[in-house]
Chains A and B, each alone.
Chain A
Amino acid sequence: MQFITDNFIPARAHVKENQEAFGRFGAEWTPTILIVDGDAKEHHRIEGFLPADDFLAQLRLGLAHAARSRGQFADAEKRYRELSASDNDVAAESLYWAGVSKYKGTNDSSALGDTAKAFSERFTDSPWAKKSSVWKS
């Protein structure tokens, strides 16, 4: 839980105490976890229970999304690459967004082609491989 306190400001809305927040943020089920910035802009949503390791990977993915949204593309790419290198449920998605972040940070379209090529070797059956297939040169 140190990871949470180091990286987030944790806040909780209980279904019996704060229905206003459920409506305001569009939470329709519990547990729902959102990663939002100080302007209440949502960067990541997790719906339903996850085991601890999977939950942690989702939190890391959310931090990468938040960095990308802030335009911190190098930081975002680094976070996505770390996730894509490990064995978790977000690895394929992270590989995709790593390519996007590199492209947005450098404006070098070869980042997208390289990502599509990487998907021909890893996560070949994932939806993210299909999404990247349009980048094949």
Chain B
Amino acid sequence: MEVTWRKDIDGALRDAKESGKPVLLDFSAAPM
């Protein structure tokens, strides 16, 4: 299963607040 990584970090934080799930925030240099 492929993980869909969001680029909108502030949106992810907002969703985290609503859902109670934490954000897994990946700082990457890998080719996108």
Contacts and interface: CB of A to CB of B under 8 A. Distances in A.
B18 to A, nearest CB: 7
Contact of A4 (B8, B13, B17, B24): B24
Contacts of A4: 3, 24
Contacts of B23: 8-11, 34-38
Q: Summarize B's interface: helix, strand, loop or mixed.
A: mixed
Contacts of B17: 37-39
- Assign chain A's interface to a size class: 35 or more
B12 A30 contact: no
B8 to A, nearest CB: 7
Contact of A21 (B1, B3, B5, B9): B9
Given A14-B28, A31-B26, A39-B17, A9 B12 contact: yes
B1 A12 contact: no
Contacts of B25: 11-13, 21, 25, 33-36
Interface stretch (A58-66, A84-92, A99-107, A110-118): A58-66
Given A13-B28, A59-B24, A66-B22, 16 more contacts: A2-B1, A7-B21, A8-B21, A9-B15, A9-B21, A9-B24, A13-B9, A15-B29, A31-B28, A34-B23, A34-B24, A36-B22, A36-B23, A38-B16, A38-B18, A62-B22
Interface of A: 1-2, 4-5, 7-18, 21-22, 25, 27, 30-40, 43, 59, 62-63, 66
